[in-house]
Structure 1
Amino acid sequence: MAPAEPDEVAQSTPAQHVQEEEAAWRAIVAAVLGDGAELVSVSRYITDSRTYRAGDRLAKIRRIDPAWPADAGMEVEAGFLRSLGREVDYTQRDGWEVSVQDVLPGSTFSSHLFDQQETSFTTGDRVRVLRSLVPELRALHRQGISHGDLRTDNILVEGDAVRLVDFDRAARTSPRRAALRDWVGIGGSPTPFWKLAAVSLAPKSLTAARRLRYQLVKNRPAAKVAGEPRDVARLRDAWHLAEQSAANARGQGLAYYALSYRGRHLSGERAWPLRWDPIAASVDFTGKRMLELGCNMGLLSNFAKMHGAAETHGVDHDPTIVDAARTVADAFQTGSTFEQLDLMGSERWEERLSGYDLVTALSVVHWLPDRDRVLRFLARHAELLYEGHDELPDEIALLNSLGFDQVDVVLRTERDRHVLYARRTGG
């Protein structure tokens, strides 16, 4: 499906535009990989660039923008990969460019640095990965290629083997300049090797550099662009509020989610499509009243409303993030409502908020000092979308103990947690 013309976009409501964009992605992915392909990554830097997987094939898909410079397309990236001996099929179709290759073995370096895996992946293991990356980089630099984006997400680890992936910020230059760009950041690399090492070896995710960045950005005004549509401007306001809240990764100065909308990219820690796409494929929101506990930016409530939910209401303890969620609802014109609420407070909120058709609690219960109070509330309802922090069998057993006899895995997150859709099917 080709992208909508500008006059068609202008006539669409925000909700229509979101659904048109999703339909366009489903169509191109089905044409390239068939039905059932899984979204595995979304570019942090480039609007409308995603990677999907079906079996042992990986397809990177990007909407073509005529304004790109000649050296910015995926065909250039495919050339870099071929120079490394990797087989890549590159094509253009219906306003998209597509690069397809075999899936490389291994898991991302970042997956070893999160949560429960952090204790088993020792400092020595991290040093080993960094050392193994050195000859890979030197081989690149000898060819005059700079990778330009040495993030933990772009490093695959398989035993003692380490491979670089995602060359969409790579550049061809002299061997010396390529080395300077990747090792120390001279020449434009946002994540040179020294910064990768600092993040990888830090005992906690909040480094001194991130604390400094947060102090610099937390009080800046929201970006304004002349002539920008109202819905986009309101989303920028929402993202600015989210950056200032205590509901994201503390000290990063980033919103919790990243979203591309109408050709603009709103930065965040996690790409929203990675969460929303599998949820939308698993849960029918049509006609349902939904309550979102720990709503953060309210994207789940707002997208559920745009996909047929009769009513959505979200609660969160942080007043700034609640304001951000309300601003998102205003931008998308969904009518979703939000309120500040402390789930551990003295108010007996349980009776007031009971009776919804579907309740969601994504990464909420784990952080509460009194889990049982909220678990008892969840057990009152017929449908639950739930994300915990424990091993999958333990999470399923917990939901079964609450009376949910059917529990399906919706997705496994980038932090190796599972989102589960639980229902009561008995009488």
Structure 2
Amino acid sequence: MTNKDNSGLAASILTAAMLLPGVQAHAETPPANGTISLGYLDYRDSQPGFDRIKVHAPSLSIVAPVAGVWSIGASVVRDDVSGASPRYHTAVSGASRMDDIRKAGDASLTRYFDRGSLTVGAAYSTEHDYISRALSLQGSVESEDHNTTWTAGLGHSDDKIDPVNHIVTNEKKRTTNVLLGVTRVLTASDIAQLTLTHTQGEGYFNDPYKFFDTRPRSRDESTLLARWNHYIAATGGTSRLSYRYYRDSFGVRAHTIGGEYVQPLADGWTLTPELRLYTQSAAYFYRDPVYDPVLGAPFPVGYDFKSLMSEDQRLSGFGAVTLALKVSKQIDKLWSVDVKASTYQQRGSWAFFNSGSPGLDIFRAQTIQIAVNRSW
């Protein structure tokens, strides 16, 4: 197994600010100062009776203004992944033990104009059985009163899959992303944002390390994201609320409701508690853990090697809760430190809007992130 088994959670932790491959969200004016950040992430997940995946990921990022109307950004990360992932549903054997290292980097160049900006970006990621390359272009335009910003973006990625078990060789996956968004200043205390993204993918979507996993060779995904930030004058804090709706051609329908509260304190301290609720329906080809009475696991009842099917728990129906707390300290004008701890738990019985999948063990994950930042 590889760290791609954690893409639903770990990828969102490592690249939470990414809108399209290789491009980070940015302001409409060039940064006043450059910033360099050194980060470290410790991630681990488990199910009853065994620890699954552990990830240790140091990272380095930099953003710098250039000539008053340009900025450059770049980041690198190295994931050291080890542990075990289920071959099917929640079953684990010694054969599923793994160690892997992923190295990834991205770079972007932004040109700022009087009422907008244009960013080009590139990203590259490699591990022993997976290589990904991505390019992107994103632009934004502000209204004359600077209260409304329209954003559009286009991204494309090419992935190469070469699993060590040689079940396939030199398989490809290509995805194209389109983004449209609008941000509006509603009042002196309120900002709202609406973003629509659509992704078309073609190629190899199977998990080559799971016994039964045959998925369609195309996947269309659409996401609608709404955000609302509200400044609370009485406390000096800001609430950040969000809702995300996701649907794809696999039949997955997902809802995410998120909320966090940013509270500045004395002496440069800031506390940010966060709560996120998630639910999804199962893919139409996902098979519950009901096995053939003669052959037993992992053979599902009525199995057919020619049919689409998957016993991947990530494609099941479930609900999840994330709790997090971030503590930040502005040490002086140049230095700051951030520490964030989060805990995640998912269960089939927690699904809402759709039925949860039965027979799966509880899944838990914990994450600690540390970042040291310096401006100049």
TM-based fold match above 0.5: no
TM-score for the superposition, normalised by structure 2: 0.22
**Where is the strand percentage greater, Structure 1 or Structure 2?**
2
Structure with greater helix share of residues? 1
Relative contact order, higher structure (CA 8 A, sep 6+): 2
Normalised to the residue count of structure 1, the TM-score between the two structures is 0.20
